[in-house]
Homo-oligomer: A and B are copies of this chain.
Amino acid sequence: MKCEYFAHIIHGEPRLTTRIPKPTSTMRKAPRQARSRATIEVILESAARILGERGWAATTTNAVAETAGVSIGSLYQYFPNKLALVEAVRRRHFDEVLAVLRASTDTATPRARRIAAFVDGMITVHRRFPAAHRVLLEEAPRDAASEATHRRFEMEYRKGCDAFFIVNRRGNAAVDAEIAAQVLAAAVAGAVHDAARLGLLASPPFRRELIALVESSLTRRRAAG
């Protein structure tokens, strides 16, 4: 049986059509065998790499399959469409990021170590496929289904940032803790991303300066006017 599109017939908007895939559960079939799991693994790895290297638009499912060493047919056996593939990559990445935040809020470790953990974590997360984070967060489109995942992540991320800020701040810092936390997190992300672009992720001075920035931001006496 064939899938027909009636959409544009119904209410004629001009050209701008696209193939935004239907809300399907992200994974077409649960991997039963070890072989399947391995295939999925290699596809996701390949997808993450290519996504990071080329960006969403230049990432083709065919290229992902080829790089992964599987046939395009196999890819579609596990992921119903390009978006679902990206979604799977996203989910992984988000988990990593949240793990970093959790570690940086763990009051069992000393404060200095927590701050370092935060910065180091962000650096590490971005290291494998430098641009992937940005692509996943901003460049790659989402459908209704991924939107939910996204919002969930965003919320947890926010909470994590808040916690990080509150747990680690010093002095009578910002009035508006929530916003300050958001600003700080985004600032760190921006700096890390920029460093990734310039190939400075591994540079100790960069790390030192970033930690200094975080530290001073957490330590500041009063919000400027």
Contact (A11, B2) CB under 8 Å given A57-B57, A174-B212, A215-B224? no
Residues of A109-123 contacting chain B, CB below 8 A? 112, 115
- The answer, among B17, B143, B210, for a CB contact under 8 Å with A14, is B17
A58 interfacial contact with B, CB 8 Å = yes
Say yes or no: is A41 at the interface (Cβ < 8 Å to chain B): no
Residues of chain B within 8 A (CB-CB) of A12 are 7-8, 10-11, 13, 15-18
Chain B residues with CB under 8 A of A3: 2-4, 22, 24
Whether A148 is near chain B, meaning CB under 8 Å from some CB there, is no
Are the CB atoms of A191 and B183 closer together than 8 Å?
yes
Complex Cα–Cα for A115 and B58 (A) = 39
Report how many copies the assembly holds: 4
A225 an interface residue at 8 Å Cβ cutoff?
yes
Give chain A's interface residue range (CB within 8 Å of chain B).
35 or more
Shortest C-beta distance, A202 to chain B (Å), equals 13
- List chain B residues, Cβ under 8 A from A17: 7-9, 12-15, 57
| Complex interface: chain B residues within 8 A of A152 (CB) | none
Interface string of A186-225 (1 = CB under 8 A from B): 1111110111011010010110111111011101101111
Instruction: Assess whether A60 is interfacial by the CB under 8 Å rule.
Output: yes
| Chain B residues near A7 (CB-CB < 8 A) | 4-9, 12, 17-18, 20-22, 143-144
The one of B138, B191, B208, B216 in contact with A216, judged by C-beta atoms closer than 8 angstroms, is B216
Interface pairs (12), CB distance under 8 Å: A2-B2, A7-B8, A9-B17, A10-B12, A11-B16, A12-B18, A13-B16, A16-B18, A112-B224, A176-B205, A179-B206, A190-B190
